[in-house]
Amino acid sequence: MARVGMPRKWVFVCINERPQEHPRPSCLRRGAADVFEAMREETGRQGLVDVKVVASGCLEPCMVGPGIYVAPDDVWYGGVTVEDVPRIVEEHLAGDRPVEFLRIGREEFALSPLQGRTDLPPGMIPPA
């Protein structure tokens, strides 16, 4: 068996779970575990032994999850489904071309379920 060295790319898949009543969505409840498994399987199927897929806690773009971060490329993806995985693996992880329609940026990180709620003190989560 060949030894695998330091990964060329790291793929962090948020599988964070929050209680149902929490105002922010949970990537796990949006299918992130299936996305994580599909990503691991597809990188293996395509022979990408230099790509490491890692289950992660919260990556912060909760409003557009499941969220994925690819390093060292500094590419963020949101709303990823199992059906998107082969394209991400083939185009981005193997071909170094990010899948643009799935990319997210600062705007998505700024989304909040509390937007417009001026009745709450900073840091306060509203009751369910």
Q: With H, G, I as helix, E, B as strand and everything else as coil, classify residue 11.
A: strand
CA-based diameter of the chain, in Å? Answer: 61
CATH of 9-105, one of 3.40.30.10, 1.10.3720.10, 3.40.50.620, 3.40.50.300: 3.40.30.10
Determine the Cα angle at 25 with ends 109 and 114, to 5°: 65
Strand partners, 77: 68, 103
Alpha carbons 9 and 102: distance in angstroms, whole number: 18
Predicted TM-score (pTM) of this structure: 0.85
Residue in the block written with tokens 């971060």: 69
Domain boundaries, the chain: 9-105
Alpha carbons 16 and 65: distance in angstroms, whole number: 10
Chain segment 52-92, per-residue pLDDT in tens: 999 999 999 999 999 999 999 999 999 999 999 999 999 99
